[in-house]
Copies of this chain bind each other. A is one copy, B any other.
């Protein structure tokens, strides 16, 4: 969508995107709200997460997933749901749920449980044979600080195990994992990760505007960002394009413009 002509905008990748991804978090939209969301933002969203285990209690789940599918938007269940099945020894049941809802994307995470990393990679490997897997690194517990070298090792092993993308944890609120409890980015952590893992392979959870701005300034218009609330997708797209105050001058080359 470009309603009129503006010059000197940063290049934006187009769908189907392998980078420049936007992952939206739906935590319980109604069917009509889902349609509305697709109308305004379907073009800018690449994949939709049904946050944590909200799919367990959301009415008309199948219909909702179908609305997204018809709009070309893949859907997956939040990693907390995967963990809820695992801790109950119900992995086979989890696979049946993926089948029932015909989901071709899945998330593997260990943000709320302790899991041996080899075991986690086995799950990634198994699921990768039937679905596109996103695997998440980082704890939801703000007391568990993982040092940078370990983030890198975990991410690399998960990619090797078959993950399509690795996700940097932030939760809906944006105050754990990649971020301090204030929401501030752990910038040293991010920069060290990027020395070893290609930016294109990472989906950064960044629910807060200041976090989105930080990543876009560091990595450009086409950084992969996730956990974006439905009504923040259009605002995010303007930030990516340098059309909101926060990144307004960032992409402009004044010499080229002739000013």
Contact = CB atoms under 8 A, between A and B. Distances in A.
B56 A40 contact: no
Contacts of A84: 6, 243, 248
A248 B112 contact: yes
A30 B32 CA distance: 11
Nearest to A61: B3
Classify the interface of chain A: helix, strand, loop or mixed. Answer: loop
Contacts of A81: 243
Contacts of A60: 39
Interface string A46-76: 0000011111111111000000000000000
A113 interface: yes
**A57, A85, A88: most-surrounded residue (chain B CB, <10 A):** A57
A56 B235 contact: no
B56 A241 contact: yes
A80 B248 contact: yes
B57 A90 contact: no
A197 interface: no
Number of copies of chain A assembled together: 3
Contacts of A111: 245
Contact of A238 (B41, B56, B88, B173): B56
B89 A258 contact: yes
A192 interface: no
B40 A36 contact: no
Given A52-B245, A57-B238, 8 more contacts: A3-B58, A5-B93, A6-B85, A31-B39, A53-B244, A83-B248, A87-B252, A87-B257
A2 B100 CA distance: 14
A248 B112 CA distance: 7
Nearest to A3: B61
Contacts of A41: 28
B6 A238 contact: no
A234 interface: yes
Contact of A33 (B2, B7, B36, B235): B36
